[in-house]
Amino acid sequence: MGTLRDLAPSRRDLLIGAAASAAVTGAPPLANAQAPVTSAQGTVVQAPSVSKVSMTVNGMARELELDTRTTLLDALRERLQLPGTKKGCDHGQCGACTVIVGGRRINSCLTLAIMHEGDSITTIEGLGTPEKMHPMQAAFVKHDGYQCGYCTPGQICSAVAILKEIDSGIPSHASNDLTAQPQVTAAEIRERMSGNICRCGAYSNIVDAITEVSGRKA
């Protein structure tokens, strides 16, 4: 008697079967298929594969028609032509894709664009320009807070957001007293920036830049 492994269809068998079924029924390719969804009434309906989303990006109202699987990162880079936000790991582990949504920083590779209907989004392009830099951008230049520069847009967006977090009284794992107003210290900065990886190792310079912008002694 064969084992369950012997009896189970192989991946190759499943692919061949799916292709044959599509050829017979005239079903559309999987990439364009609409996924079945069960409604609250218990009926099966087809979920749309394309949807419209409106958001404000860097102060400008934008409306897009997107595949529902499009990440916010890809919408910003590929559809809105804002390449400052970088695609690093694409798994939310490096922080290169950090943007500010509603005043809070997020990894744009981990969220779908259609989830941000009506949101206000700021990318590195919206913080400042080469002619009129944001204070955090200027501080990064002054303190050499970058080397290759690939992670720098995400670093700067996070840096701007963490100072707002501290001002808002949001504690971190480095906060000694979770009920007290957190202070801008080197330990706080390093903890809050730990989700942004700099493979060139400019961490000490990044801390110096953020400390200068905060106007307080770390």
State whether 83 and 151 are in the same domain: no
Residue 102 in any domain: the answer is yes
State whether 99 and 162 are in the same domain: no
Q: What is the pLDDT of residue 124?
A: 98
- As a three-state string, the secondary structure of 37-81 is EECCCCCEEECCCEEEEEEEECCEEEEEEEECCCEHHHHHHHHCC
State whether 200 and 172 are in the same domain: yes
Residue 4 in any domain: the answer is no
Q: What is the pLDDT of residue 69?
A: 95
> Of 127, 142, 158, which residue constitutes the final position of a domain?
127
CATH number (domain holding residue 146) = 1.10.150.120
- Regions in the chain scoring below 70 on pLDDT: 1-41, 45, 47-48, 216-218
What are the tens digits of pLDDT across the range 176-213? 898 999 999 999 999 999 999 999 999 999 999 999 99
State whether 100 and 146 are in the same domain: no
Number of domains in the chain: 2
State whether 122 and 133 are in the same domain: no
State whether 103 and 150 are in the same domain: no
> Of 94, 127, 160, which residue constitutes the final position of a domain?
127
Nearest C-alpha neighbor of 72 from the set 125, 112, 25: 112
Q: 119 forms bridges with which residues in the sheet?
A: none
Q: What is the pLDDT of residue 8?
A: 54
Tokens of 43: 């009926």
In which domain, by residue range, is 209 found? 129-218
- Give the number of C-alpha atoms closer than 13 A to the C-alpha of residue 8, restricted to the C-beta side: 5
CA distance readout (Å), 100 to 67, 82, 83, 122, 149:
23, 14, 15, 5, 19
State whether 116 and 141 are in the same domain: no
> Of 64, 92, 127, which residue constitutes the final position of a domain?
127
Q: What is the pLDDT of residue 26?
A: 45
State whether 123 and 135 are in the same domain: no
State whether 140 and 121 are in the same domain: no
Instruction: Answer whether 156's CB lies under 8 Å from 134's CB.
Output: yes
Residue 24 in any domain: the answer is no
State whether 94 and 119 are in the same domain: yes
pTM: 0.77
State whether 178 and 214 are in the same domain: yes
CATH number (domain holding residue 101) = 3.10.20.30
